[in-house]
């Protein structure tokens, strides 16, 4: 896939500011048609879907251990639902039509209520026809604050997204396009960051909560102007912070950084022969008394250690797609030869059991595999436990073992978060009894 400046309009990256966060979260999320300024100010607006008047929807903020109670009021003309990505919640609140609830029809509502057990950066998004509804804007950030948050001057949420958009500002059609589904998915031709604030001071210490809300694109990112440490992945704190380097962020993944502002903070999309600016946080003044204490690890997540000898050793093979993918399923993609959700789960676990699942990518495309209701350890080559996350990017031809303690009862999806892949077969489910 190649871009040039004519088709990829990022040179004029304008910044769109999210609605301000309030710790008192709204009690209603109303999905409805909205107009958004996706293209730079002065260019056409875009008809999209959003929550409470905007896309992305409002930032929901709760404290760790608090209960979030939100009525989802569907004022769009499409059936929908809300999934709370990454939260270890009660199965009935997971927002998956056909598995955990009925679809919420136009004009109807559904009351979601759950406790947020882990602090971290999460997000919410439509889980019905998500390849289309998320692309149209039905998503927003969900932040669970630590009881003792790290000391920073600003806590800024930054969503990274792309849109396939006409020069008039209209979203391009063709959401269910099979050609897109069989390749990398619906890639946008315009990309930018959606930060919750636009300016910062020189010398400020900031926390950045990056969320990739794109339906298909893995962003290769370089951040300039910030001396930073990576402190969490997919909401889950790292035991030891890591110095920030160029990184990839797959759809649905999150990266939390804490760093000191050295100059305007630029978000660069790094391609082989080109660099595009996705937006930046501008400098407005200087901090007279910068925080100088070392950047420390966030408090460790509440993770049950997988057993050294797992109860189940499984293999989940990703198959299909363009460029030679073959399988026995009945759609474009398959997992172990099966496309889409069948009556029988991929596996059933007794509560508390450990499974090691080898995610084998036997396709010509990268996939970001997401498990609902749990986090898992990515295993290192030597069998030790690596990062603790909820979405794992597996490159074409590669494999990644994950170790999961299945301790949350219910029916949970396991699927590719390239949402067009999920729509065309790359999904299954597991049951914890």
Which of 150, 157, 147 shows the shortest CA–CA distance to 291?
A: 150
Select the residue interacting with ligand C2O from 159, 211, 236, 252 (CB under 6 A). Answer: 252
- Residues 9-48 within binding reach of Cu ion (CB under 5 A): none
Pick one of ligand C2O, Cu ion, none as the site partner of residue 83 (Cβ within 5 to 8 A by kind).
ligand C2O
Select the residue interacting with ligand C2O from 335, 413, 423, 432 (CB under 6 A). Answer: 413
Count residues contacting ligand C2O (CB under 6 A)? 10
**Smaller CB separation from ligand C2O, 280 or 428:** 428
Binding of residue 401 to Cu ion (CB under 5 A): no
Rounded Cα gap, residues 250 and 215, in angstroms: 9
Residues 6+ apart with CB under 8 A from 376: 388, 389, 390, 392, 402, 403, 404
**Smaller CB separation from ligand C2O, 214 or 283:** 214
Select the residue interacting with ligand C2O from 61, 85, 192, 411 (CB under 6 A). Answer: 85
**Smaller CB separation from ligand C2O, 252 or 338:** 252
425, 416, 53, 141 alpha-carbon torsion, rounded to 10°: 160
Pick one of ligand C2O, Cu ion, none as the site partner of residue 367 (Cβ within 5 to 8 A by kind).
Cu ion
Select the residue interacting with Cu ion from 125, 372, 401, 421 (CB under 5 A). Answer: 421
Rounded Cα gap, residues 407 and 410, in angstroms: 10
- Kindly write out the interface string for residues 369-408 of this chain, putting x where it contacts ligand C2O by CB under 6 A and - elsewhere: -x-x------------------------------------
Select the residue interacting with Cu ion from 233, 416, 423, 430 (CB under 5 A). Answer: 416
> Which sign, positive or negative, has the C-alpha torsion 86, 92, 93, 99?
positive
DSSP 98-136: TTTB--B-TT-EEEEEEE--S-EEEEEEE-SSHHHHTTT
Q: What DSSP designation does 80 have?
A: B
Asked if residue 381 lies in contact with residue 359, where contact means CB atoms within 8 angstroms, the answer is no
For residue 333, the minimal CB distance to ligand C2O (Å) is: 15
**Smaller CB separation from Cu ion, 110 or 131:** 131
Three-state SS sequence of 164-192: CECCCCCECCCCCCHHHHHCCCCCCCEEE
Binding of residue 191 to Cu ion (CB under 5 A): no
Binding of residue 217 to Cu ion (CB under 5 A): no
Binding of residue 415 to ligand C2O (CB under 6 A): yes
Binding of residue 261 to Cu ion (CB under 5 A): no
Rounded Cα gap, residues 398 and 358, in angstroms: 10
Binding of residue 415 to Cu ion (CB under 5 A): no
Rounded Cα gap, residues 249 and 368, in angstroms: 10
Interacting residues with ligand C2O (CB under 6 A)? 83, 85, 125, 127, 252, 370, 372, 413, 415, 417
Q: Which residues bind Cu ion (CB under 5 A)?
A: 367, 416, 418, 421
């Amino acid at each position: 896939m190649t871009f040039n400046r004519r088709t990829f309009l990022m040179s004029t990256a304008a910044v769109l500011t999210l609605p301000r966060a309030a710790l008192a979260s709204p009690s209603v999320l109303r999905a409805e048609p909205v107009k958004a300024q996706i293209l730079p100010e002065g260019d056409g607006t875009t008809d999209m879907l959003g929550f409470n008047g905007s896309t992305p929807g409002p930032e929901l903020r709760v404290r760790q251990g608090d209960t979030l109670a939100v009525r989802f009021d569907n004022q769009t003309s499409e059936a929908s639902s809300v999934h709370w990505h990454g939260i270890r919640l009660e199965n009935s609140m997971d927002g998956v039509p056909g598995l955990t609830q009925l679809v919420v029809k136009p004009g109807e509502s559904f009351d979601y209520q759950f406790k947020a057990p882990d602090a971290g950066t999460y997000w919410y998004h439509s889980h019905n026809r998500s390849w289309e509804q998320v692309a149209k804007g039905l998503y927003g950030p969900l932040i669970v604050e630590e009881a003792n948050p790290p000391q920073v001057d600003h806590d800024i949420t930054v969503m990274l997204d792309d849109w396939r958009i006409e020069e008039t500002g209209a979203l391009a059609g063709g959401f269910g396009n099979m050609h897109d589904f069989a390749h990398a998915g619906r890639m946008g031709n315009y990309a930018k960051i959606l930060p919750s604030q636009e300016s910062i001071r020189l010398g400020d210490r900031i926390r950045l909560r990056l969320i990739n809300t794109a339906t298909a694109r893995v962003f290769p990112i370089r951040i300039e102007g910030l001396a930073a440490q990576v402190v969490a992945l997919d909401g889950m704190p790292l035991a030891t912070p890591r110095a920030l380097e160029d990184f990839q962020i797959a759809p649905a993944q999150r990266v939390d950084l804490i760093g000191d502002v050295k100059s305007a903070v630029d978000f660069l999309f790094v391609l082989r022969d080109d660099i595009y600016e996705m937006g930046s946080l501008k400098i407005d003044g200087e901090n007279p008394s910068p925080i100088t204490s070392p950047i420390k690890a966030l408090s460790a997540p509440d993770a049950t250690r997988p057993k050294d000898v797992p109860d189940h050793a499984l293999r989940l093979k990703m198959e299909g797609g363009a460029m030679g993918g073959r399988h026995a399923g009945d759609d474009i993609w398959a997992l172990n030869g099966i496309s889409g959700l069948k009556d029988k789960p991929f596996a059933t676990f007794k509560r508390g059991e450990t499974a090691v699942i080898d995610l084998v990518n036997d396709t010509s495309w990268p996939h970001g595999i997401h498990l609902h209701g749990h986090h898992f350890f990515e295993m290192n080559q030597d069998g030790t436990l690596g990062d603790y996350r909820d979405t794992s990017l597996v490159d074409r031809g590669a494999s990644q073992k994950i170790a999961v303690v299945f301790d949350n009862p219910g029916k949970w999806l396991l699927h590719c978060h390239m949402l067009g892949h999920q729509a065309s077969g790359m999904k299954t489910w597991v049951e914890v009894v």
